[in-house]
Structure 1
Amino acid sequence: MRFLRQSLTGLMLLAVTLVVLVYAGVLVRDAVQDRMNASPQVPPQRERVFTVNVQTAVPRSVTPILTAFGEVQSLRTLELRAAASGTVIMLSDNFEEGARVEKGEVLLRIDPDNAQSALDRAESDLADAHAEQREAARALELARDELAAAQEQAALRERAFQRQKDLESRGVGTAAAVETAELAASSARQAVLTRRQALSQAEARVERAETALARARIVRDEARRRLNDTVMHAEFDGSLNEVNVVEGGLVSTNERLAELVDDTALEVALRVSTAQYARLLDDEGRLRPLPVTVTLSVMGVDLEATGVLKRDSAAVGEGQSGRLIFARLDRARGFKPGDFVTVRVSEPEIDNVVRLPATALAADGTVLVLGDDDRLAPLAVTLVRRQGDDVLLRGDGLAGREVVRERSPLLGEGIKVRPLRQDDQGADAAPALLDLSEERRARLVAYVEGDGSMTEAVKSTILDRLQQPRVPAQMVERLESRMGG
């Protein structure tokens, strides 16, 4: 009985367990189905607001600046070549690389002995030609006198002949006397012809003497020029470059000795694109005389000079593009031919344009402006000109609107933003300045004064800056980096 009771109890417990498990499975299934069939519940989200920099679009007149790079060159560059051959017997103290010379200054002398001997011979030949001319003139005068005497004698003989004929016709004279008188008259006429021939020869001699005299003068002048060519003078004020001669050296005719450069008459040559060139022309297609500013950065100091556009190239060089234009510089202190400089050309003024950062303009030609409730809206604009990192724009409805300065892929139409406003007329940050101690200032001054790689103009400019109470930090950094090197 006890075994039976325990068996029944176990069966009952097993049945209850199975029922509980089935009931639990049904509950899980119903819960999963309810969960899958129920609609998702999304929690409420806040709208994302972006912070953007905005600028008020204010139309104004802007003078665009065309920036290009060019090379400084001299308007007058003269190659000094030897006009005579020989030994250099004298060189000017200023005939050296970089030395400055004045107009008319004697630069060098070549041994003049050969040229002087040629001049002496030419002058001697000229003296002989003068003597020959005088002798020919005297011979001509004598020939004329002899011709006159022969003509008088011929006239007398002719009258004697006529008188004998008259006597014969009256029966007083004889035929022999007439014949004798006729022969004498004929001889006298022959003598006149001989004297005329002598006069013609005397005149020809005079002409030959004049020709020989002119030829002797030419030879004398050529010899004098050759003698003058042994002395070289400076044709204008300037500096010497590429000096290639020493005293005592032997030079040949047309040998290149040096180059004379006028470093006060400078111009800059710059190449621009055809589109940029077209903007520099007036209504008649001529280059406008626009002002330019030339900048050369040296040791943190910018050397600047002003000028004006003068001319453009006549043709496009082989393998080149665009246009080559030239600007004449005014008082280009510190500049030298060959300097590579930055050139800024002030173009004609453009009216009614808005200047914005280039990051405000999209590729599709639109900008984002603030609308109602600080939401963004696109606005179509026209790109007039690019100016470095800025653009000049025009557009209907752009004036007075607040424009996003920096666009990003997260910004678009309808996006709510928090604008950060700033003055669009703000000036660029001023260059950093330093207060130097007297010891540091003296060390920099000593380095600049002893540096042989700087020109005197650059040294003067840097020393003037170093004497100021506050000195540009960039210049100090460059000087100290070179001192450390």
Structure 2
Amino acid sequence: MRFLRLSLMGLFLVSLTLGLMVYAGHLVYSAVQARMNDEPSLPQRRERVFSVNLVEAHLGTQTPLLTAYGSVESRRTLEIRALTGGMIVDLAQNFENGGRVRRGQLLARIDPAEAQFTLERAESGLTDARDEVREASRALDLAGQDLEAAEIQAELQQRAFQRQLDLQERGVGTSAAVETAELVAAQSNQAVVSRRQAEAAADARVAQAQTQLARARTAYAEAEKRLDDTQITAEFSGTLRAVAVVRGRFVSANEKMAVLVDPRALDVAFRISTGQYARLLDEDGELTRAPVRIQLEAYGENIETTGHITRDSASVAEGQTGRLIFARMDEPDGFKPGDFVTVEVTEPPIENVARLPATALGADGTVLALSGEDRLRVLEVTLMRRQGNDILVRGDGLDGAEIVAERSPLLGPGIKVRPLRAEAAEQEAAADLIELSEERRARLRGFVQTSDMPDAMRTRLLAELSERRVPTSTVERLERRMGG
């Protein structure tokens, strides 16, 4: 009985399991059929909107700045050389590297003993030549007087001879007397010729003495110059560098002793491309005297000055390109030859251009402008200049348009955007300025006035500290240097 009950229970469980499996298969089959027969339901899509920063373009006249890099050079650099050889017996106290000298100051003296002896010998020779000229002049004067007396005597003898001829014609005189008078007259004429030769010799002696005097004067001037060459003076006020001599050293003629540099006559030489050079030419093809601004960054401090272009290089050096331009500094305080500086050249103004961020220009030379319904459209522009992070462009429909400041590959014509306009620019700029208390302002001004810095930088900092609101960066920089 128990066996039958257990058998029936097992058969019931097997039947129930098979029924459940069949039911599960039916459910799976029905779901697959329903999935295959139903239409697919697509999710509803929404248009994507991008946020963009906009800037408003305004056409007007812009003055481009050409940025280049160059080095400071001195227009007046003089090599100080020994004009004669000898031992240096005297040297200026400030004849050293970095020493400042004045125009006409005695820098060094070479032993003048030999030159002094030569000068004294030349002076003696000059005295002898002058005495010879005086003696020759007196001899010439005496020779002239002797010639005059001989001519008078010859004239008298000629009249006596003529008188004997007259007496002979009247039959009173004799032939012997006539011949005697004629002989005496001939001797007198011979004496005149001799006196003339003596006068010519005296005249030649005077000319020779004059020549000797000129030579003696030349020798004296040369000896005097050699004596002057033992003293080396400064041709202009400046600073010495490359000093290579000391007192007691023997120098040879034309040996380099030092280099004198004029710190007030400084130029800056910088190289630009040929295209940039063409923009600096006037209608006649001459280089314009465009104003420049020169900056030297030194440990966080900027030394600035102004200037103007004066000339360009005569030729292009081998292996170089572009043009080498020279600009003259107006106030070279703080600058030294060899400084590497940044030069900003003010180019001629350009009309009908707009200043935009450089990121607004696409690779295809277009910009994206905001149109109706906050969608973008393409504007073709012509790039005129690049100005750091900005560009100067020109194009139709650009005036007054709102331009996307930062291009992205996701942006294009017809894209809907959410415009973001820079309305708080002035507030951000004002945030960089702070107001100082009187005590803090006086402390900063005292530090600037007593610190060792160029006059141009001191003037600029004092001007900033005199304003009601002072740049935060200036205050922080000065307090760091003060240690506060």
TM-score (norm 1): 0.85
CA contact (8 A) 2:66 2:345 kept: yes
Q: Which amino acid aligns with 2:395?
A: G
CA distance in 2, matches of 1:255, 1:358: 57
Q: 2:190 matched to 1:185?
A: no
CA contact (8 A) 1:299 1:479 kept: no
Q: Which amino acid aligns with 1:472?
A: T
Written as runs of structure 1 = structure 2, the 5 A alignment for 1:64-463 is: 64-423=64-423
Q: Per-residue CA shift, 1:271-295, capped at 9, x if unaligned?
A: 1111111111222222222221111
Change (3 A) 1:334 1:412: same
CA distance in 2, matches of 1:316, 1:105: 40
Change (3 A) 1:366 1:462: closer
1:16 Cα deviation after fit: 12
CA distance in 1, matches of 2:199, 2:250: 55
Q: Per-residue CA shift, 1:149-207, capped at 9, x if unaligned?
A: 11122222222222333333344333333322222222111111111111111111111
CA distance in 1, matches of 2:479, 2:45: 54
1:89 Cα deviation after fit: 1.3
Change (3 A) 1:459 1:277: closer
% identical aligned pairs: 55
CA contact (8 A) 1:102 1:234 kept: yes
CA distance in 1, matches of 2:332, 2:282: 27
Q: Per-residue CA shift, 1:233-290, capped at 9, x if unaligned?
A: 2222211122222111111111111112111122211111111111112222222222
Change (3 A) 1:462 1:308: closer
CA distance in 2, matches of 1:46, 1:119: 108
CA distance in 2, matches of 1:158, 1:26: 183
CA distance in 1, matches of 2:431, 2:163: 127
SS for the counterpart of 1:399 is coil
Q: 2:60 matched to 1:60?
A: yes
Unaligned runs of 5+ in 1: 1-9
1:434 Cα deviation after fit: 12
Q: Per-residue CA shift, 1:399-447, capped at 9, x if unaligned?
A: 2222111111111222222111104975868869899999xx99xx79x
Q: Which amino acid aligns with 1:362?
A: G
SS for the counterpart of 2:386 is strand
CA contact (8 A) 2:333 2:454 kept: no
Q: Per-residue CA shift, 1:464-484, capped at 9, x if unaligned?
A: 79999977377469869xx9x
CA contact (8 A) 1:371 1:377 kept: yes
1:306 Cα deviation after fit: 0.9
Mean alpha-carbon deviation: is it higher for 123-132 or for 230-239? 230-239
CA contact (8 A) 1:355 1:390 kept: yes
1:208 Cα deviation after fit: 0.9
CA contact (8 A) 1:238 1:261 kept: yes
CA distance in 1, matches of 2:239, 2:413: 66
Change (3 A) 1:396 1:134: same
Aligned counterpart, 1:472: 474
Change (3 A) 1:458 1:89: farther
1:309 Cα deviation after fit: 1.6
CA distance in 2, matches of 1:89, 1:466: 53
SS for the counterpart of 1:472 is helix
Q: Which amino acid aligns with 2:299?
A: M
CA contact (8 A) 1:68 1:271 kept: yes
TM-score (norm 2): 0.85
CA distance in 1, matches of 2:465, 2:353: 43
1:94 Cα deviation after fit: 2.1
Q: Which amino acid aligns with 1:234?
A: A
CA distance in 1, matches of 2:53, 2:333: 43
CA distance in 1, matches of 2:99, 2:434: 37
Unaligned runs of 5+ in 2: 1-9
Q: Per-residue CA shift, 1:1-22, capped at 9, x if unaligned?
A: xxxxxxxxx99x9999999989
CA contact (8 A) 1:73 1:267 kept: yes
CA distance in 2, matches of 1:80, 1:105: 13
Length, aligned pairs only: 469
1:66 Cα deviation after fit: 0.9
Change (3 A) 1:14 1:298: closer
1:60 Cα deviation after fit: 3.0
Q: Which amino acid aligns with 1:93?
A: Q
CA distance in 2, matches of 1:38, 1:218: 127
Q: Per-residue CA shift, 1:117-136, capped at 9, x if unaligned?
A: 11111111111111000000
Q: Which amino acid aligns with 1:334?
A: G
Aligned counterpart, 1:4: none
CA contact (8 A) 1:356 1:405 kept: yes
1:344 Cα deviation after fit: 0.9
Aligned counterpart, 1:6: none
CA RMSD of aligned residues (A): 3.6
Q: Which amino acid aligns with 1:84?
A: T
Aligned counterpart, 1:44: 44
Mean alpha-carbon deviation: is it higher for 27-36 or for 424-433? 424-433
